[in-house]
Structures are given as C-alpha cells and as structure tokens.
C-alpha cells in the first residue's frame, strides 16, 4: 500500500523566556511558569525529530495544554479576611460624605494584602506570543498578548504533526497491518484536534482570526475534511488488498471523493493565491477517487451481467482519471504553501491506471463477444452508499489545568503600576520568526517527497 499526501508546513514561533523576574521572586508562581517555558520548548523540539512517537507527542502536548491554561483560567478573586469589599458610590449621599469627620474617611486596616483588580486579565495578557500561519508564505507572523492565542496555535501544530506522521508511515515501501492502523488513527486524531480547535477553542480569542490563517474556521474545516478523507484512503487500500466486494469499494471511494470535494468547497471564498495550491491537491484527489468509485461500480455491473452499463461507467471512470492527471500537472505548477508532490508518477496512481484499463478492456470484450448490449449515452447512477469504513474524527479535549497552579502559586503573581507602565512604554522588538526546518519524508523510488 502506497500513499501520497500534500502537507502544509509547521507553524513557527519564537522561543519564549517567560521572564517574570520583575513580578515574582522565589515563589511557586516562578516554578510553574518556568515549567511551562521548558515544556513549551520541548514540544517545539520534538515536532521535527524523526524518532518522536505519538505517545511522546500526547504526553508533552497534554502537559503543555494543562500548564498554559493556568495563565487564563485564573480563579475568581477572594476577599482577603479583615477587609471590606469596595462598593459603588451612592449619588444621593454626597452631602453626608462631605459632612463626615476625617476619622470616618480613614480606611479600615486590613489583615493582609488585597488582590489586585483584573489579575486574570493581566496574567493572560502579560506575555506576547508570535506565530506564523501554515498557509502564509510571504505574510508576517501574527502576534498577540494572549495565552489562549499561544495554546490554539500550538494545538494546530499538534494536529499537523499527526498528519505528517501518518504521511511518513505511509511512505514506507512495505506497510504492515499495525502501520496501517497507526496511519488511520493518526489521521483521525488530527481531524479531532482541528475539530476541537474550531468548535471549542476559537471562542477563547477576543477577536476572530484573519481569513486564511489557522484561526479561520474555513481553514480548520478544510483540515478536518481532508484528514477524514485521507484516513478513508487507507481503508480503501485495505479493502482492495483484502479483495472485498466491488460494491463496498465503490461506495467507500465515492464517499471519499465527496469529502475531498467538501474540503475544496470551503476554500472557494478564500484568497486563491494563498489556498490555490492546496485546492488543486484536493481537486485531483476528488477526481481520482471518483474515477476509483466508477471503476469498481463498473466491475460490479459486469458481475451482474449488465455489460452495456458497465462499459459506459468505465468510460466515465477513464474521463475522471484524465481529469485527475491534468489536475496533477496544474498542482505541480501552482504556487503556494506546502510540499510539492507528483501524484501521477506515484506507484499507487500508476498501478490503478493499469488496473482500471484492464477492467475496462475486459468489459468491452465481454460485451463485444458475449452480451452485445447497447451502451447507454448516460452512466447509470450508483444505487448504493457506503455502510462500512466511513471515518469519524477521534474526539479531542484539552486536559484540565495543571495541579501546580495552586492558590499559593497565583499569590506569587504581583504586578505593580511601574511594571505596567514600563511594559506599555517599551516597544515590542520585531524579531523575525525563522521557519521550522522539517525532515524530508522519502517515499518509494517511484513516489514523491513530502516535507
């Protein structure tokens, strides 16, 4: 089993020092923030290591998600014992306030420090994060003082890692059952992560993300649908290898073609210079699997001795394959983000073309020598749908906040007006973000290179 997958590049970000020296000294807050810094660096490091396993990604990413949440899931402020809660002034009590004695105006002594107002917002917005976007080549990175922004962009990278790991496993010359299962699972996990970002995490941002960014719901939809479709490619290849019925394979291939079409459709309203290359990939996959579905539908008609209908369906299958071949050429010439692959030179593509032509020739010969049925001008519609092998995303949820975020840890965050003033006056250094150097994934000799 051989596969070919277009992959968009990882998102890049700067290393973050998480410098809290001015607001916390020798406290539990310092410990948990520096733990977050180290885990974040480790996660960025293992994205590009060839030896990284799904188990390692799960472990480190879950720890990062649990730690970063502490910056924006701050507990509600509690009134400090011995202090009275501030109340809004009464407009009708101005005269009585003026006549009150000086002793009445003195504040009551408190038993401890009062929590600063707006601590949750200050903590969430204290650090500035900068991220490139997977489809943006010449655009500057997005930048925000928002811990939620960092978590969401990192989550996109985790989803991309699972899709790239699947591509790496699929590029092996020989793929066993366990590898096929792992490819299938990784693609479903990737779809689940993108789905979780779209449905649950984007709402944490104060403003919608720019169009064509990874914070754009349409871009996330395209990732979800393409990962589901690619997972079904694995199922199709397995069904062919195990010689399942032509009807089952035809129905599954037809549904896979529809998923690629839906992924392409959600990108129609986005900037074509940015999404055009990705769309060509989705379109060629849509045409290829439409041809695949019709090929096996034609074979099922031949098995039922409906030879005239079979010939007409094979003619349409050949037309879709030629359309896919043309789209392969357009895809290779298109400019945009991501790897450039050569689908029509891939062994999977070449072998299918030979198999389709063999089946087509058999159908024509059977009809010419035995059945002599009239070939209709229009192909009969498939009267069945896939009932097995359809892929759902594996549900993903971020873990709960790390236990290191205790009330003692939060009490170590103390920001003064001077620090805030310096922060506002100091201009942010516009340091460039270097793209991530990704290892090449070598496919078979006839295949392609995916980065």
* Residue 30 pLDDT greater than 70, yes or no: yes
Task: Give the tens place of pLDDT for each residue, 349-367.
Answer: 999 999 999 999 999 999 8
**How far does CA 420 lie from the centroid of its chain?**
35
pLDDT given at position 446: 43
* Residue 102 pLDDT greater than 50, yes or no: no
pLDDT given at position 233: 95
CB 33 within 8 A of CB 366: no
Look at the block and give the residue holding tokens 């990704």: 438
pLDDT given at position 303: 93
CB 295 within 8 A of CB 359: yes
Task: Give the tens place of pLDDT for each residue, 433-447.
Answer: 988 988 776 655 443
Q: How far is CA 432 from CA 60, 163, 329, in A?
A: 26, 27, 35
pLDDT given at position 204: 94
pLDDT given at position 94: 42
Mean pLDDT of 97-109: 41
Question: Of 200, 338, 367, nearest to 274 (Cα)?
Answer: 338
Q: How far is 34 from 29, CA to CA, in rounded Å? A: 9
Q: How far is 141 from 132, CA to CA, in rounded Å? A: 4
Q: In the chain, what percentage of residues exceed pLDDT 90? A: 68
Q: What's the chain's average pLDDT? A: 86
- The phi, psi pair for 293, rounded to 5°, reads -65, -45
Mean pLDDT of 293-307: 95
Question: What six digits make up the tokens of 194?
Answer: 């993108």
Mean pLDDT of 385-413: 90
CB 66 within 8 A of CB 400: yes
* Residue 89 pLDDT greater than 60, yes or no: no
Mean pLDDT of 159-171: 95
Supply the pTM of this predicted model: 0.87
Q: At what angle do helices 307-333 and 272-303 cross, to 10 degrees?
A: 160
């Amino acid at each position: 089993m051989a596969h070919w997958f277009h992959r968009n590049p990882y998102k890049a970000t700067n290393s973050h020092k998480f410098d809290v020296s001015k607001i916390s000294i020798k406290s539990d807050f310092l410990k948990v923030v520096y733990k977050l810094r180290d885990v974040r660096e480790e996660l960025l490091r293992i994205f590009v290591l060839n030896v990284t396993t799904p188990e390692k990604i799960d472990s480190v990413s879950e720890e990062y998600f649990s730690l970063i949440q502490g910056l924006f899931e701050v507990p509600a402020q509690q009134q400090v014992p011995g202090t009275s809660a501030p109340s809004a002034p009464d407009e009708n009590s101005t005269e009585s306030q003026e006549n009150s004695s000086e002793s009445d105006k003195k504040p009551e002594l408190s038993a401890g420090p009062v929590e600063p107002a707006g601590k949750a917002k200050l903590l969430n917005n204290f650090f500035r994060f900068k991220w490139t976007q997977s489809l943006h080549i010449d655009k500057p990175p997005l930048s925000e003082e928002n811990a939620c922004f960092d978590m969401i962009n990192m989550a996109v990278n985790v989803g991309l890692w699972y899709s790239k790991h699947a591509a790496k496993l699929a590029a092996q010359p020989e793929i066993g059952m366990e590898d096929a299962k792992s490819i299938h699972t990784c693609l479903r996990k990737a779809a689940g992560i993108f789905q979780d970002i779209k449905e649950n995490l984007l709402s944490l941002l104060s403003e919608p993300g720019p169009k064509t960014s990874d914070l754009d719901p349409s871009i996330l939809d395209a990732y979800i649908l393409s990962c589901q479709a690619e997972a079904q490619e694995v199922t199709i290849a397995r069904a062919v290898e195990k010689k399942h019925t032509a009807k089952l394979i035809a129905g599954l291939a037809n549904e896979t073609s529809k998923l690629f079409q839906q992924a392409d459709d959600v990108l129609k309203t986005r900037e074509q210079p940015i999404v055009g290359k990705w769309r060509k990939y989705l379109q060629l996959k849509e045409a290829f699997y439409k041809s695949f579905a019709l090929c096996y539908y034609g074979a099922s008609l031949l098995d039922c001795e409906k030879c005239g209908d079979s010939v007409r369906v094979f003619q349409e299958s050949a037309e879709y394959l030629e359309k896919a071949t043309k789209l392969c050429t357009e895809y290779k010439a298109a400019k945009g983000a991501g790897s450039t692959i050569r689908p029509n030179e891939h062994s999977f593509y070449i072998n299918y073309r030979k198999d389709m032509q063999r089946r087509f020739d058999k159908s024509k010969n059977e009809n010419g020598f035995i059945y002599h049925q009239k070939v209709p001008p229009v192909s009969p519609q498939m009267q069945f749908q896939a009932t097995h092998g359809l892929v759902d995303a594996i549900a993903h949820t971020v873990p709960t906040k790390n236990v290191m975020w205790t009330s003692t840890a939060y009490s170590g965050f103390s920001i003064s007006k001077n620090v805030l003033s310096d922060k506002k006056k100091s201009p942010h250094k516009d340091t460039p973000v270097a793209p991530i150097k990704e290892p090449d994934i070598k496919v078979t000799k006839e295949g392609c290179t995916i980065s």
